[in-house]
Structures are given as structure tokens and as C-alpha cells.
Structure 1
Amino acid sequence: MRTALVIGTGLIGTSAALALASRGITVHLADHDPAQARTAAALGAGTDEAPGGRVDLAVVAVPPAHVAATLAGAIRGDVARAYIDVASVKGGPRRELLSLGCDLGSYIGTHPMAGKERSGPLAATADLFEGRPWVLTPTRDTDTEVLNLALELVALCRAVPVVMDADAHDRAVALVSHTPQLVSSMVAARLEAADETAVRLCGQGIRDVTRIAASDPRMWVEILSANPGPVADVLSGIAADLDETVRALRSLESADEDKRAGGAAGIEDVLRRGNAGRVRVPGKHGAAPATYEIVAVLISDEPGGLARLFADAGRAGVNIEDVRIEHATGRQAGLVQLMVEPAAAPGLSAALRERGWSLRQ
């Protein structure tokens, strides 16, 4: 690949363009809003000038509802040797292209599993896809050259290629991406009219659950409109669990001992099934989830504090596997939870205490 055309300069399109441009690819940028393409060009993602001829790869990075029409226009204009899209749904756009009479030999649907709560070119980074899965959905009609160019794009963005059937992909993202967005938003919506004293009690748990509720509603309406059936199927299962859980909680209010026992068993069942599902979420580098020991350190909110803590952990010869920060309400301090291998925890705790850090259970 030497040249590329990125159509749509939002977060994903601009991030892909930045990655390609940083590796020597000549990238042309196009957007229905010329100002957005100029912004992406100013960030170093390429040029907003039209290509002088046919490019090697066209990357369509527009909202799902506009993917098929944009791809059809590009294919009919013969702007590239190969065409991909990066929409978060795959079955619908492919069927729309077929209905429009497009030859699908030069096209492959893809979906990089990466993103942010923020959108637009100013949120883009060249390393957005690094180490992240990038789904490819080739069919029997896909030309080998097209697949190879798509794989080259994934490699240049330092992502990890995953080959899937388009409809299987849509069912998968309904479960692991689209439904969590809705559930997060539903939980966060309970806070809108909550009493201020209740909101002030928010801790790390509610922050974890509601983090993605900050996402752009307009973007998510477009995504969910393109994949409504699979998302509704997952939500139906959750709704059944919710009904059972509500009944179990009501039973716990009963004066009848047998009902209370049944209610407790129902709550324990959903919690244990949650444990079993959580264990299946891939851990570090995509490996099986590991069980880490937590070393909790009280840290003041001041410049250089985290850097000093990480440096002291490094001097102790301990690799930090993961980290979380829980901020203290009303105090200029927080609790940093360092996740480390269980065997390393005692040594790290001792080393940090020697260096003056205050540890918590």
C-alpha cells in the first residue's frame, strides 16, 4: 500500500489516517464537512486535497446508516483498488451493497474494536488501535488482493486481525459492546434526579459502571439503529434476569422464612452466574484472566505523585499488571490500587512502606 483515501474524518477515520501517515502512506482525506477534513489534515493525518488518481485503499469511516451509499458511490467512481468500511455493524451494509447492485469482490467489511467516549478528529490518536482486535468479514466473493490490503492496514495500525462472519460479528458486538452501552446509560440515568446527598456517595463501582454513559447519544442511536435485533435479543435475556432478581428481592422482604431462603438463593444464583461470566473476559494481552493481589496505596493529589509511586514499585522489581484509582470525596487524595502477581505483593508492600508510602487494606 502506498496511497489511501479516508472518507469520514471522525475519531476512527482520523486515527486510521494518522497511523497510516506516520508509516509513510500518502493519505487523502474527505468528509461531508470540509472543515473537519481540514482539521484532520492539520493534525498530520494527511491532505484534504482529492487524490490525482486511483488509490490503493479507500477506508469508509462514516456512520452505519451512510456506509452503503458512501461505499457504492466510491466503487462506482472507481476511486480505489480495494474498499473497506469500519462501521460497528457488518451484515446490514453488506446486504445494502448487494441490493444496490455493487460488485463485492473489491470490498471487505471491517470493524476495529477501539474507541473513546469522545468523538471527532481532535480525539484521534495514531495508536488508538494498537493491540486491539480488528474484525475482518471476508466472503467467498472477496478478492485475495483486497483481503491482503485490509490485513496490511490492520498491521500498519498495529491491531490484531480477527476473521468472522458478518452476522456472527453483529451478534457478538450486541453482547459485548452495544448492550453494555445501553445498560451503562440506564444505570447513569437513575442518577439524573437522585438526591445530591446520594450522588456524593458515588464510589469507584458506579464510576466503572457508568463510564461509557458519557458517549455521544447521536452516534449511539445510529449504531443501535443498525443492529436493533441482536441487541434486543440480549436485552430480553437481561430483562428476564431482572424480573427474577426483583422477585427474589421482594421475597427477602417476606416474613415467611421459606420465601426469604428462596429469595437469597435467587440472588446468589445471579451473582454466581455473574462470577462465571466475568471469568471469561480476556485478561492481559488477551490471555486467560489472571487473579492478582491488590496493594492499595494512599496518595495525595499533587504533580509527580503517581510517577514516584510507579518508580518505587519498579525499584522493588515488581511489574504492575493493572492499576485503578479511587478518588476520595472532599479530600485532595486518592487510593491507588496496584494489581500485581500474588507472590510479588508482600515484597512490594514492604518496599513501599520503607519508602514512606501509606498502605491500606
Structure 2
Amino acid sequence: MTVDPQAGRVPEERSGGGVSRPSAITVRIVGTGLIGASIGLALSRRGFRVLLSDPSPTARALTADLGGGVVDDDTPCDVVFVAAPPDVAAAVVAEQLKRWPSAVVADVASVKQRIVDEVAASVDADHLRRYVGTHPMAGRERSGAVAARADLFEGRTWVVCPQDGTDPDSVALVQDLAHATGAAVVTMPADEHDAAVAVVSHLPQLAASAVASQLRELPDEAIVLSGGGIRDVTRIAESDPMLWTQILAGNASSVAPVLQRVVAQLNSVARSLQQLATDESAAPGSRGEVARLISDGQVGHARIPGKHGAAPATYATVIVPIPDEPGAFARLFNDVGDAGINLEDLRMEHGVGAPVGLVELSVLPAVVDRLRDVLEDKGWNVHA
């Protein structure tokens, strides 16, 4: 049985050991914060019937007003997505498994193994077969239903973590619904998921917060020097402290050793820099220690997948000063379009007190000369 992502329909029934399904899927969202409300918006837009439950009447009413479903605590459903905080997700999953004995129940918390273990300790084997742990790797710095978006999962990875005893039909149904939101579905065991996100998600949050915390006591005249580097590193430092405390505590066994490795690297570099600051002649190998960390970082960065999960690609960068005025971006993008060139990435940096910004356009190296020629012909100053 597969879900038609356009119509919210199931073309045919599956028989056998799986969970029986009607021809139309009803999805319940329990927890209408950013992720839950966004799931509701995405599935409602694709024609699924979505029911909304949340302890907060305001949150569920707001999600309904935004078009994410209808408020309903009593109607039976086929699939339940539990979008509760990580520290209570397992209890809510167990409650929903018992309340809806024919429904598939999936959670969307960003830690998995701990929740799997707690659910397994709370329900019997028959209930457990209908539980599917998942993690949509999407989010925003803002939280709550007011920040929800129907396209939040478009092109984002949605990890599904079935256990050995999970019903295959239940897994397939959850995967189909994740696909229906526009996500790219990846399947892996819960423990492997937790080890992976410790490095690619949880460590970056800690690093961003640690760096941003150094800005608290910096004099104003130093803060105004902030440029693209500090903005890039600290972008996610605005995240919700309560939520991230729950996430990190839930994945502590995976995060702690990663953080210890990073601390060891930084301590080694700190010792080398202190030696250089004290007496350069008495610090053999110190520069090599610093260079090694930067070099290892280059190697690691090169492994990050490129667009759409493809192999990493090397882009050329064209820098264009752009006036800080209405319509300037539109003119620049139109001129790039006139060149028939696809932008691979872009970023913008404002200079302190300057009436212009610097737009960095990343393109394939083969087209950089053509892009520069076209933009210069259109009157732009271009640096490649």
C-alpha cells in the first residue's frame, strides 16, 4: 500500500500482517509547534485529512487557522505523528499507541534510541510493532506554530528508524507520508542516527552557542566589526535553550565523546598558540599543530554533500557590490538570468557604515567568465 502524495489517497489495500487501511488516510498531529504544525500544513496542502491535538488550545487553534488541519481529539485516525518535546515524546507515543489500537504512531523527535527504549518499556510487543521512530531534519531559528511552513520539509532529509520488530507496512506508510511532504527519506537504525546527528547537528549547535557566548562582553566598537565569518558560525545560536537542553540530554551518550574530541583538539591548538605567544623560538611544531587543525577541517568540509545530495562540487565565486536600495537584488538576479547561468549558492555581507552590500554568487567554474562579462556589460562592478 502506498500513498498518492498528490491526492492523499491509498490506491490499494495491503493484506497480511500489516495494518489495515481505508482508502483515504487520516493523520493526527499531536503537538502543534513548529514541526507538528508544518507537517499538518504540508499534508493538508496535499489533500490529506489532518486532525490536530495539543495541550495548548491557542497552538492548535492557530495551526487550524493557518490551514494545518482541524481541531479534533476524538476521531479515529490511521497515522499519528507525535511532535512532542524529546523529554516527553516516549510517554506520548505510548499513550497514543494504546488509545488508537489500529493506528501507526510515529514520533519526530531529534533523538531516537532513548525514545525507542522508553517506548519499548511502556507497551507490549503488539503495540510496539506499530511504532516508527522518525526525525525530519528541518527547522527554523523561530519556534511555534506561527513559524510553521508548508514547505519546511521540501528537499530536506527525513530519517526513518524502524526496529527489528516494526511492522513493514507501518514503516512503508510513514515513509510515504514523509515523501508526501516533499522530504527525502533516509532509513537507518536508531543508534546510528543518534551517532550521526551528534556530529552533523548537535555539535554545530554547541559550537555556535559557544562562539556566540564570547560576544556577550565584547565592547561595542569590537562588535561592529562583525562580518560574514561570525554571522555564519553563530547563525543557529538563536535556537531555543529549553528545546536544545532536552535534545542534548536525550543524546548525551553520543554527543559527549564527540565534544570531548573537539575539546581535545582545541586544547592542543590553545597550548600551541600560548607557546607561540610566550616564546616563538621555544615552540617547535606549534605552527604545525594549528595548520593541521585547519587542514583537517578542509578535508572534512569537502565531504559535505553538494546540491540534492550529489557529490561535493567546487564552485567559483563572483563578488558584486550592490547598493542598499529597493530593487537592487531584483536587477542583479534578472541580469544573471539574462546570462543564462544557474546560481548554485549565494550569500550577502554588509560592510559597517557602507551604503552597499557584497553579494557572493557561486557558480560552476566553467561559466564564471561569461557571468562576469555579462554583469560588467550591465554596469555592475565584478570581482571574481
Q: Which bracket does the TM-score occupy, shorter chain normalised?
A: over 0.9
Equivalent in the alignment of 2:225: 201
Which structure dedicates a bigger proportion of its chain to helix? 1
Do structure 1's residue 48 and structure 2's residue 39 form an aligned pair?
no
Q: Which residue of structure 2 aligns with residue 281 of structure 1?
A: 304
Preserved CA contact (<8 Å) 2:113 2:190:
yes
Gaps of 5+ in 1: none
Change (3 A) 1:72 1:255: closer
What is the rounded CA distance, in whole Å, between the counterparts of 1:42 and 1:343 in structure 2?
A: 48
1:64 counterpart (76, 81, 86)? 86
* Equivalent position of 1:153 in the other structure: 177
User: How many angstroms apart in 2 are the aligned matches of 1:225 and 1:251?
Assistant: 36
Alignment of 1:259-298 (within 5 A): 259=283, 261-298=284-321
Aligned residues: 359
Identify the residue that residue 158 of structure 2 maps to in structure 1: 134
Confirm or deny: 8 A CA contact 1:30 1:37 kept in the other structure. yes
In structure 2, do the counterparts of structure 1 residues 3 and 298 end up closer, same or farther at CA, with 3 Å as the change threshold? same
Q: CA deviation at 1:251?
A: 2.4
Instruction: Supply the RMSD in Å over aligned alpha carbons.
Output: 1.3
Report Cα offsets for 1:86-136 as digits up to 9, x if no partner.
000000111111111343101100000111101101111111111111101
- Aligned match of 1:243 in 261, 264, 267? 267
Cα separation, 2, equivalents of 1:80 and 1:303? 55
1:170 aligns with one of 190, 194, 211: 194
**Which residue matches 1:322?**
345
TM-score of the superposition, structure 2-length normalised?
Answer: 0.91
- For residues 1-361 of structure 1, the aligned pairs below 5 Å read 2-52=25-75, 54-78=76-100, 80-102=102-124, 103-257=127-281, 259=283, 261-360=284-383
- Per-residue CA deviations over 1:264-297 (Å, capped at 9, x if unaligned) read 1111111110111101111111112211111100
- Residues 64 and 222, structure 1, Cα contact 8 Å, conserved in 2: yes
**CA distance in 2: counterparts of 1:41 and 1:80, whole angstroms:** 25
Instruction: Measure, in 2, the Cα distance between the counterparts of 1:324 and 1:352.
Output: 17
CA offsets, 1:236-274, max 9 Å, x none? 000100111011112222435362x41111111111101
1:329 is displaced (CA, Å) by 1.2
Letter of the 2:167 partner, please give it. D
Runs of 4+ in 1 over 3 A off after TM superposition: none
Q: What is the identity percentage for the equivalent residue pairs of Structure 1 and Structure 2?
A: 45
Distance 1:217 1:311, change over 3 A: same
Contact 2:97 2:103 in 1 (8 A): no
Q: Structure 1 counterpart of 2:236, which letter?
A: I
Q: What letter corresponds to residue 68 of structure 1 in structure 2?
A: A
Distance 2:168 2:297 in 1: 42
TM-score computed with the length of structure 1 as normaliser: 0.97
Asked whether the 8 Å contact 1:9–1:29 carries over to 2, the reply is yes
